Structure 1
Amino acid sequence: MGPGSNNSFPAEKRVAVVTGGNKGLGLEICKQLAANGVTVVLTARSEERGAGAAAALRQLGLSEVLFHQFDVSEPSSAAGLADFIKHKFGKLDILVNNAGILGVTFDFGNLDLNKAIEGKSANETLEWLMQHTVETAENAEECLKINYHGNKKTIQALLPLLQSSPDGRIVTVSSVFGQLSFFSGEKLKEELNDFSKLSEERIDELAELFVRDFKDGELESRGWPARADAFAAYKTSKALQHAYTRVLARKHASSSSPLRVNCVHPGYVKTDMTLGTGELTVEEGAAGPVALALSPPGGATGVFFIQTEPASFV
């Protein structure tokens, strides 16, 4: 039992936090973890939707699911979540960073989405969606705020509790769009890929530089993902998540209480985020994050997975 705990929660029982757990992929991750005997704290920004989602899982017989309100974009919210976990359980074994946004709006004009993508393959559908996005500076800033800064602050707030676990692990739900092949600048790619020299402070600086370059129209000249190719902020936020994953994994690899930190692309999943398009069900998409969360002790750290297979960061 960790310091500050005031109950008799069994030490051998695993506890997980899942951000953005009220629907889609996050909800399915909660469901699969709970089905594997994990006590799950389902978090969501909306009290009503989050509490409703947790209640729905309990009605399925998954009694070890509880809800806690959490807004990944609010730093004070992370502190409140950490305090709740500390006093309720005294430790945290699994953190699944699932909350995130695309950082764009879609503009289909007068077109009907379902008719427009009828007969298209998954890749063709994604390509069509990308051609119908609008990405403003405000979108980009919000995307970085949630996907990078928000997830990082969540990790930092919960880190002491993860270190109280004998086998703590962090799983960040990411994307192949975070691979550095989407960056045109060799210098930038090299820096983001050299995790032995990267620091958390430098990744923060790069996040701020991206937002500034977006506003100044300097994305291409600096070598960031091109705005014209769609999802520039999303791609950058995921690449920064990857860099932070590797820095964190390196930092904690040799500690007395090893922490395993990985990121995973769940696949092109049919969720609200993809407007119901995609080639995988949420059950199939959740398989990768859940496998990482429940993998045996002593496994990989600092690795990017595509579903359940290790993949390149580049």
Structure 2
Amino acid sequence: MKFALVTGANKSIGFEVARQLAREGVYVYLGSRSAENGAEAVGRLKAQGLNNVESIQLDITDDASVLKARKEIGKKTSVLDVLINNAGIFGGHPQTALVATIDQFKATYDANVYGAVRVTQAFIDLLKKSPAPRIVNVSSSQGSITLHSDPAYKYYDYKGAVYLSSKSALNMYTVVLAYEFKNTPFKINAVCPGFTKTDFNGHRGPGTVEDAGKRVVKYALIGEDGPTGKFFSEENNPATGEIPW
């Protein structure tokens, strides 16, 4: 049996990713900042007959919380096969380059960038013990500097200095991390789940959580011949999925 950790898994896309992984027979640890919300999410999955799930209190912005989660999971398994860095925040309004506050930037980067770094560094020892470790950093096509420099990009006018730049930074972390594990069994990619109807965007997105979950899970379970160090958004490139950084 494979073991996976999904951050921000108590609702929305993270919850759906956990559900789909569990359906594939993976034992899933659902990371949730609120222990109560995590337990409730696990209850919903078990009600669907998915018993290979367990909640872990995990605040990705808190060093002590991340290390405690690592210790707790380490007591239960000596290996982690999949890490999904899903948890993140939008960063509030305004997001214009000249009005967005430093506090907005700090809070957003703490979750969207440093959070992924904290969790990855804390669990990398367990991932190294897997014969086929996979890391998926849940990003956004909005973090593509190439696309956002192109007036033909369908979301070209949806600018936001805080959120977009945080995803660009996460993308670069993905590139560097994948490089550091080149010529190893690791497969490390950034995946955009698409503009999905969730609480995150006020339910404005046209996509479903089911489709978003499939896009993430696909790269969490890729085989040894799969890609690494790439950026995927099937919403923007249905043919191959790969989009420019």
The normalised TM-score by structure 1 is: 0.70
Q: Report if the CA contact (8 A) 1:104-1:231 is conserved.
A: no
- Which residue matches 1:87? 75
- Which residue matches 2:154? none
RMSD across aligned C-alpha pairs, in angstroms?
2.0
- Which residue matches 1:22? 10
Query: Quick one: distance in 2 between partners of 1:230 and 1:138?
Result: 19
- Which residue matches 1:297? 224
**Who wins on radius of gyration, i.e. which is larger?**
1
1:244 to 145, 170, 173: 173
- Which residue matches 1:148? 113
- Which residue matches 1:231? 160
How far does residue 229 in structure 1 lie from its aligned partner after superposition? 6.3
Aligned residue runs from structure 1 range 168-247, under 5 A: 168-181=133-146, 230-247=159-176
Against the structure 1 CA distance between its residues 74 and 296, is the aligned structure 2 distance closer, same or farther, given a 3 Å change threshold? same
Against the structure 1 CA distance between its residues 182 and 295, is the aligned structure 2 distance closer, same or farther, given a 3 Å change threshold? closer
Runs of 5+ unmatched residues, structure 1: 1-12, 107-129, 185-227
Deviations 1:134-184 (A, max 9, x none): 843211110011100111111010101000000001001110111013777
Against the structure 1 CA distance between its residues 137 and 182, is the aligned structure 2 distance closer, same or farther, given a 3 Å change threshold? farther
- Which residue matches 2:244? 313
Against the structure 1 CA distance between its residues 89 and 236, is the aligned structure 2 distance closer, same or farther, given a 3 Å change threshold? same
Query: Quick one: distance in 2 between partners of 1:175 and 1:229?
Result: 12
How far does residue 80 in structure 1 lie from its aligned partner after superposition? 1.4
Runs of 4+ off more than 4 Å: none
2:58 to 46, 54, 70: 70
What is the SS of the residue equivalent to 1:43? strand
Count of matched residue positions in the alignment of Structure 1 and Structure 2? 232
- Which residue matches 1:279? 206
Q: Report if the CA contact (8 A) 2:66-2:119 is conserved.
A: yes
What is the SS of the residue equivalent to 2:179? helix
Runs of 5+ unmatched residues, structure 2: 150-156
1:38 corresponds to 2:26:
yes
What is the SS of the residue equivalent to 1:61? coil
1:158 to 123, 130, 136: 123
1:261 to 181, 188, 193: 188
Query: Quick one: distance in 1 between partners of 2:74 and 2:35?
Result: 21
Query: Quick one: distance in 2 between partners of 1:263 and 1:279?
Result: 21
How far does residue 61 in structure 1 lie from its aligned partner after superposition? 0.2
How far does residue 55 in structure 1 lie from its aligned partner after superposition? 1.1
Deviations 1:23-58 (A, max 9, x none): 000000010000110000001101111110011101
Q: Report if the CA contact (8 A) 1:242-1:313 is conserved.
A: no
Query: Quick one: distance in 2 between partners of 1:313 and 1:234?
Result: 18
Deviations 1:75-118 (A, max 9, x none): 12221121122220101000011100111137xxxxxxxxxxxx
1:60 to 44, 48, 52: 48
Q: Report if the CA contact (8 A) 2:147-2:244 is conserved.
A: no
Q: Report if the CA contact (8 A) 1:102-1:231 is conserved.
A: no
- Which residue matches 2:153? none
